[in-house]
Structure 1
Amino acid sequence: MDLLLMFKNILFLLYLNFKCEKVNGNTLDPTLCAGILPADLLEESIPKYGFLPSGVSVLYDTNSHAHAYRFSRNNVDLQFPVSKIFKNCLFFPDEFSIFFVIKHESVYDKKECILRIGNKNSTLVSIQFSRKYIIFTYNNRKVQYRNFALKDKKWHSVGFSVSSTDITMTTDCINKRRKRLKRKWPSILPLNNSTFQIASCAPGHGVTLGQIKDLIFIPGADAAVRACPPKTPQHRHLDNRLPAVPGRLIDIYRIGSPGPRWDDCTWTDVGNIAYDLHAKSLKVCVNGIWQHVTVNIQAPSKVPNLPRRLDYIDFHQDIRTPGPSIDVEVFTIKGEGIFAVFASSRPKKSRKKDISIIYKWRKKRFVFYQRMDTDAAQCWKFFTIDNNFFLAVANYGKASGVQSNSTIYKWHKRRKKFKEFQTILTWTARDFEHFVINDENYLAVTNYAKGASHKVDSEIYKWSTKLRRFELFQSLLTTGAYDWTYFRVNGYHFLAAAQAFDGFSTLIDSNIYVLQDKKFVLFQTIETNGATDVEFFKIGDSIFLAVANAYNYGPQNINKKQEYFTNSTIYKLDKGRRVFKTFQTIQTFSAVDWEFVTIGDEHFLIVSNAQNRALEGDHLTSIYKWRGVEKFVRVHQMDVLPNADWEIFTYKKDVYFLYSNAKGKTSQVLKAYFMPP
């Protein structure tokens, strides 16, 4: 079962509240230790997803919905000092618990090691297992348990709870085996130069062969008692008792159960429905815990009123475009319906004029609506001003050394067509961004290059209510700028510029600007590698920026190997320090767009891999799901055409995914299907 999720509400109740005291103002009392909090040792040893140490890989078990680490036999050397967990401690605590979730491969050619705590000369604590035994070692003494749990190549949780007189091993919150220590736990085990060593007890020896999902250290010898429900319910007809919140148990009855069962929600129960007698609501088994079946949740306006859970995505429609499209914009005009416009361009040698096409949603399909003249269109942006509807197109032009016109179109209410409204001079424009500050409208354009120089002013325009047109408000010097993203945090207004190339390398910083004294000034730079898109989103009180890195070219990749394989990064705002910090890195394949969407109470990120060649692994366009402390985990891989931009829209109760084809003339609409509410 997923212990990390099970413990998320009770971890902070399960710690030993030791206190460090100074004796004579200089030395620590050797019998006491500072308060220790629960710690995920895997998270401490592998802090950044995407930058994996040698011998470590990440796997996703689709059958069990588990995102776990696998370790190779000879190359693992994962360790970190115990001082990261045991702060201000001289000696090992004498009461603690260790839990891990494992799917073993049943090789057993020698002892395999989960964890070792010690230094070069001595081992304080270790956990190993063989074909016959699971072995807990402390201070060079062994406590052995028969290995009944790890032989079936399935997921199992194992917990050790240690007190001064005994050790209890709990497997799957069902089987508990307590052993009395022949000698009491040592009251003083010095921590001098000790480390936590993960998945091996010595480099090249005894590596765990299988997948480990969680490895959690919790102060206190009663963690298993609090984390696991009792084996016997208090009432007849009640199928189980589960910890819903700290200190409270909930009785549930499994619908359709042939008879009473006293086991907890395990991986085999995924998808099963139960009725919570106490809360009078349905629950479903998800990731090892019973979760409420959500109803009547008000979702964001982008995907409104969808309490269902995303199950799978299937093909719905092909859309033929005049040429490859690197952007698509979906918009709604009140009283007229849903539209989609593709930024399309023909090859430079083509004699035909560039055109982009607007499609209208009719009878659950997009059909041709209007032809638009463009010049190597890169991006469309729809916005409204005073009940008027506008479309702005960023035109790259046929050459970087020639200035081109990017165009703003206005909706003609009587003719029900878009007509040219205003032109803006641009240099290889890549993106438009519209935003509103204090009821005033702004339109920002990114200019990519000017001739041979990638340093060029990107410009911000402001709507003049007097002249009824956009006028230049501010110019900002950017380098190979691809994308503008506006966002607001606590009343402050920001613009993020994704910068892709400086003429020599794609490894350049992207900029975040903040509005101060009626001007945008530099707020922060973030390290990017061929950045083409920045996506802003919130989850609860947390604020994120997801950066799509598309290309790895320059001195950092002098051999020009795997130039499309990049690590795209998610940044999280540190509110205390007022700075965006790296939160998670995800391996991508020429990612040019992130799209965030909330469906019901679930949050997803879609990444577009523009060089997708329908191969396996990271070539495929992927959907990542927010899983709290597990961060974003890949849950869907889609064998689709090369894509550069994704949009999500709803029609009645249906949810659709639309993407633009980066290399061909066929883009597609996909339809989302859901588990029944």
Structure 2
Amino acid sequence: MTNEAIMRLEVVIIVNAIIKGMAMLKIPTTCSNIGPVNFIDEAIPRLGHLPEGVSVVYDVKSHVHALQFLPETEEIKFPATSIFKSCQYFPEEFSVFFILKHGNTYLKKECVFSVSTVHRTYVSVCLTSKKIIFTYNNKKSKFRNSILTDNKWHTVGFSVTGSHVTMTTDCLNRRKHKLRRNFPSFLEIQNSVIQIAKCESCNSAFQGLLKDVIFVPGADVARRTCPPKTPRNAYMDNRIPTDPDSHISSYSSVGPDWAGCKWMDVGNLAFDVYSRSIKVCVNGIWKHVTTDMPVEKPSYRQLDYLEVYQDVITPSASIDVELFHMPGEGLFAVFANSNPVANRARGVSGLYKWTEKSFRLYQRLPSISAQCWCHFTIGENFYLAVANYGNDTSKLTNSTIFKWHRHRRKFREFQTVGTYTARDMEYFTIEDEHYLAVANHAIGPNQEVDSVILKWDRKTRRFVIFQTITTTGAYDWTYFRVQDYHFLAIAQAFNGRTTLMESLIYVFQNDKFLPFQTIETNGATDWEFFTMEDEAYLAVANAYNYGPQNFQNQDTYQTNSSIYKLDIGKRAFFKYQTFITNSAIDWEHFMLGNDHYLVVSNAQNGGSEQERLTTIYRLQGVDKFVPVHHMYLEPSADWEVFEDDNDVYFVYSNAKDRKSQILKAKFKYI
């Protein structure tokens, strides 16, 4: 056995050991599976046995019962384990929402609640006349208090996720502060207690009116509790029809103010078209109610069909299209034009701007057989990065990062990165750090090559090499995040002998990406990550079936492409659904209303009727994704979806010709 073979064997053994070790690793259990808990109900379960210094009052003006606390209020506490059962650590992501009224303009750091041990405050909220102080793991975040001393009811919510804490007041104002903490925090709850209105971390007891202190694992309590803002689509009518015989209060002709529930509107009802249910204004928030009274069911739209809206003539055939929006500039589409123009060594890719309901050529950007464009923002600057395949697969090629010039209002070359037959660039952030992953496909006939992850250097203001990962026929990087875990999935298409091979998912741990899971793929060219009902999914586009598994070399472009669903408990993706696809190199997930859709590209668009079809799938309950639209289009390589006013458009890049197209969606109302 040669030295090279021995070294490769050692690498395989090490990688297998890492994967096996990660599979055996038992991550400590965090208390993330409990439902919403009202701390007040837990602390004071029966109103007939109120603690000393606590009374129930009725606020006549707002028609609200609440608890009033006096300076001599005794400690109101209970063990945290009565809520956090069968788990060891405090949730990493959580939210808390409370409703209060306070008229004292001279607050002296009054306590709303706290979760703490003798030596450590896990979470607490204290009020002063000028600040709202949120404490996490003994570290304080101070928010400006401009509303809580006006003797009016207010709602306050805090959401903790990653390295940030967000405060939302009255469902209107949102402020975010950076939170200094390690992840995972692993705060043990075994000896902790929950206190209401009086706690060690604050100097004084709460002396206002308090109603509901709701704790929810997960960082979206404000979104789930507050009503939606003004609907995105004007055809949606939030009003309840006025009925003289009805006992339901109706709003004026302008409809309800969904940006906030005013206290003068307590008791009013309105219809929420997002959830298609009636909501009542209670204590400043919209809450769902049930009713047997007949209410006119509003119509909502469902995708009916697509029609060709615009032909976009690009410099050459397009492998990829990237849509992005720059504030103050508008919507843009940049096409990765793969072939040089007029046999030049360097080609160009077309950048188009959405102007007067159509895409118009805005700028030609130099590229060398471009495969993918990636748009991102760092600070207040806008960037475009192109993955150049190059004209000679055995030589190093420069892929380019362009920067937006604000005065000239054009993109200019900013930095070049040495790549080998680059297929993809993927931008992402982790803990406020900026990264750019490059998928290098091959060096000449050698499919095994190092792909590179670049990191933004704040001092030099350039991307530098952060980590190299050996890949085989790499085609696509896809970054995604589940809870506070960061992942990169690599689609590997060919190893020189067969397209039936393994693609990998990496997880970010200890300041590097480590193997997390392998998935068998067949000429994989794209991963698409999406979520449905808080569940995580990955769809793989398998493009080509070549190798010993297809020794007769038949129907090489027809393969099975699959969706995988993440099982958080088992910490692995498992196959969810499989489709027969033809030369699929891209999946695109999108939502219209509450409906989930997937469209798959058809890059070869062969001779048979099946090979010339592009298919859109819609999620239909237990049937999962079913085909609902079939379209005879040009060979498509990449799909994107965007909205303008009430209109929905689809854009796809033509893999074989200069004519890419914009399609416009037509809807039916049901």
The residue aligned with 1:419 is 412
1:392 aligns with 2:406: no
1:311 aligns with 2:304: yes
1:506 aligns with 2:520: no
Query: Aligned in 2, Cα 1:463/1:562: closer, same or farther, shift over 3 Å?
Result: same
The residue aligned with 1:256 is none
Equivalent-residue separation in structure 2 for 1:633 and 1:279 (angstroms) = 35
Equivalent-residue separation in structure 2 for 1:278 and 1:627 (angstroms) = 28
Indicate the SS of the match to 1:577: coil
> Given that residues 340 and 346 in structure 2 are in contact (C-alpha distance below 8 angstroms), is that contact kept between their aligned partners in structure 1?
no
1:403 aligns with 2:417: no
The residue aligned with 2:322 is 329
Equivalent-residue separation in structure 1 for 2:594 and 2:424 (angstroms) = 31
Q: Which amino acid aligns with 1:278?
A: D
Indicate the SS of the match to 1:629: helix
> Given that residues 609 and 621 in structure 1 are in contact (C-alpha distance below 8 angstroms), is that contact kept between their aligned partners in structure 2?
yes
The residue aligned with 1:493 is 486
Q: Which amino acid aligns with 2:313?
A: R
> Given that residues 329 and 342 in structure 1 are in contact (C-alpha distance below 8 angstroms), is that contact kept between their aligned partners in structure 2?
yes
- Any residues of structure 2 matched to 1:121-136 within 5 Å, and which? none
> Given that residues 622 and 638 in structure 1 are in contact (C-alpha distance below 8 angstroms), is that contact kept between their aligned partners in structure 2?
yes
Structure 1 counterpart of 2:547, from 525, 546, 554: 554
Displacement of 1:471 after TM fit?
A: 0.8
Question: Per-residue CA shift, 1:576-633, capped at 9, x if unaligned?
Answer: 2111011111000000000000111000001001111475335411100011211110
Indicate the SS of the match to 2:634: coil
> Given that residues 553 and 563 in structure 1 are in contact (C-alpha distance below 8 angstroms), is that contact kept between their aligned partners in structure 2?
yes
* TM-score computed with the length of structure 2 as normaliser: 0.56
Structure 1 counterpart of 2:292, from 266, 278, 281: 278
Equivalent-residue separation in structure 1 for 2:642 and 2:607 (angstroms) = 25
> Given that residues 341 and 347 in structure 2 are in contact (C-alpha distance below 8 angstroms), is that contact kept between their aligned partners in structure 1?
no
1:601 aligns with 2:594: yes
Equivalent-residue separation in structure 2 for 1:587 and 1:282 (angstroms) = 42
The residue aligned with 1:523 is 516
Displacement of 1:450 after TM fit?
A: 1.2
Question: Per-residue CA shift, 1:97-136, capped at 9, x if unaligned?
Answer: xxxxxxxxxxxxxxxxxxxxxxxxxxxxxxxxxxxxxxxx
Displacement of 1:387 after TM fit?
A: 1.5
1:483 aligns with 2:476: yes
Query: Aligned in 2, Cα 1:279/1:342: closer, same or farther, shift over 3 Å?
Result: farther
Equivalent-residue separation in structure 2 for 1:527 and 1:279 (angstroms) = 54
Equivalent-residue separation in structure 2 for 1:354 and 1:516 (angstroms) = 40
Question: Per-residue CA shift, 1:49-99, capped at 9, x if unaligned?
Answer: xxxxxxxxxxxxxxxxxxxxxxxxxxxxxxxxxxxxxxxxxxxxxxxxxxx
Equivalent-residue separation in structure 2 for 1:343 and 1:354 (angstroms) = 10
1:441 aligns with 2:434: yes
Q: Percent identity, please.
A: 57
Unaligned runs of 5+ in 2: 1-277, 279-289
The residue aligned with 1:541 is 534
Question: Per-residue CA shift, 1:144-188, capped at 9, x if unaligned?
Answer: xxxxxxxxxxxxxxxxxxxxxxxxxxxxxxxxxxxxxxxxxxxxx
Indicate the SS of the match to 2:328: coil
Displacement of 1:651 after TM fit?
A: 1.0
The residue aligned with 2:121 is none
Equivalent-residue separation in structure 2 for 1:553 and 1:433 (angstroms) = 27
Q: Which amino acid aligns with 2:649?
A: Y
Question: Per-residue CA shift, 1:314-336, capped at 9, x if unaligned?
Answer: 11000111111010001111111
Q: Which amino acid aligns with 1:575?
A: I
Query: Aligned in 2, Cα 1:311/1:453: closer, same or farther, shift over 3 Å?
Result: same
Indicate the SS of the match to 1:415: coil
* Count of residue pairs brought into register by the alignment: 383
Query: Aligned in 2, Cα 1:605/1:281: closer, same or farther, shift over 3 Å?
Result: farther
Displacement of 1:366 after TM fit?
A: 0.7
Structure 1 counterpart of 2:633, from 640, 645, 648: 640
Displacement of 1:574 after TM fit?
A: 1.4
Displacement of 1:451 after TM fit?
A: 1.9
Query: Aligned in 2, Cα 1:416/1:349: closer, same or farther, shift over 3 Å?
Result: closer
Indicate the SS of the match to 1:609: coil
The residue aligned with 1:580 is 573
The residue aligned with 1:663 is 656
Displacement of 1:571 after TM fit?
A: 0.5
CA RMSD of aligned residues (A): 2.0
The residue aligned with 1:630 is 623
Q: Which amino acid aligns with 2:399?
A: S
Query: Aligned in 2, Cα 1:410/1:615: closer, same or farther, shift over 3 Å?
Result: same
Equivalent-residue separation in structure 2 for 1:356 and 1:565 (angstroms) = 30
Equivalent-residue separation in structure 2 for 1:385 and 1:604 (angstroms) = 31
Query: Aligned in 2, Cα 1:614/1:389: closer, same or farther, shift over 3 Å?
Result: farther
Indicate the SS of the match to 1:592: coil
Indicate the SS of the match to 1:556: helix
Displacement of 1:280 after TM fit?
A: 3.7
1:589 aligns with 2:582: yes
Query: Aligned in 2, Cα 1:350/1:567: closer, same or farther, shift over 3 Å?
Result: same
> Given that residues 316 and 341 in structure 2 are in contact (C-alpha distance below 8 angstroms), is that contact kept between their aligned partners in structure 1?
no
Q: Which amino acid aligns with 1:616?
A: E
Equivalent-residue separation in structure 2 for 1:358 and 1:376 (angstroms) = 15
The residue aligned with 2:229 is none
Indicate the SS of the match to 1:587: strand
Query: Aligned in 2, Cα 1:412/1:560: closer, same or farther, shift over 3 Å?
Result: same
The residue aligned with 2:132 is none
Structure 1 counterpart of 2:466, from 469, 473, 496: 473
- Any residues of structure 2 matched to 1:198-347 within 5 Å, and which? 278=292, 280-282=294-296, 308-346=301-339
Which is further off, 419-428 or 462-471? 462-471
> Given that residues 491 and 524 in structure 2 are in contact (C-alpha distance below 8 angstroms), is that contact kept between their aligned partners in structure 1?
yes
Q: Which amino acid aligns with 1:441?
A: H
Equivalent-residue separation in structure 2 for 1:405 and 1:610 (angstroms) = 26
Displacement of 1:352 after TM fit?
A: 6.6
Equivalent-residue separation in structure 2 for 1:584 and 1:618 (angstroms) = 21
Displacement of 1:674 after TM fit?
A: 1.3
Displacement of 1:349 after TM fit?
A: 8.8
Q: Which amino acid aligns with 2:637?
A: A
The residue aligned with 1:362 is 355
Equivalent-residue separation in structure 2 for 1:465 and 1:405 (angstroms) = 22
Equivalent-residue separation in structure 1 for 2:627 and 2:554 (angstroms) = 25
* TM-score computed with the length of structure 1 as normaliser: 0.55
Equivalent-residue separation in structure 1 for 2:423 and 2:304 (angstroms) = 35
> Given that residues 614 and 639 in structure 1 are in contact (C-alpha distance below 8 angstroms), is that contact kept between their aligned partners in structure 2?
no
Query: Aligned in 2, Cα 1:406/1:280: closer, same or farther, shift over 3 Å?
Result: farther
The residue aligned with 1:457 is 450
The residue aligned with 1:620 is 613
> Given that residues 534 and 545 in structure 1 are in contact (C-alpha distance below 8 angstroms), is that contact kept between their aligned partners in structure 2?
yes
Question: Per-residue CA shift, 1:401-448, capped at 9, x if unaligned?
Answer: 011000000000110000000000000000000001111110000000
Query: Aligned in 2, Cα 1:592/1:541: closer, same or farther, shift over 3 Å?
Result: same
Equivalent-residue separation in structure 2 for 1:410 and 1:354 (angstroms) = 19
Q: Which amino acid aligns with 2:292?
A: H
Equivalent-residue separation in structure 1 for 2:294 and 2:383 (angstroms) = 50
Equivalent-residue separation in structure 2 for 1:583 and 1:497 (angstroms) = 19
Displacement of 1:650 after TM fit?
A: 1.0
Equivalent-residue separation in structure 1 for 2:395 and 2:523 (angstroms) = 23
> Given that residues 621 and 639 in structure 1 are in contact (C-alpha distance below 8 angstroms), is that contact kept between their aligned partners in structure 2?
yes
Equivalent-residue separation in structure 2 for 1:319 and 1:515 (angstroms) = 40
- Any residues of structure 2 matched to 1:45-64 within 5 Å, and which? none
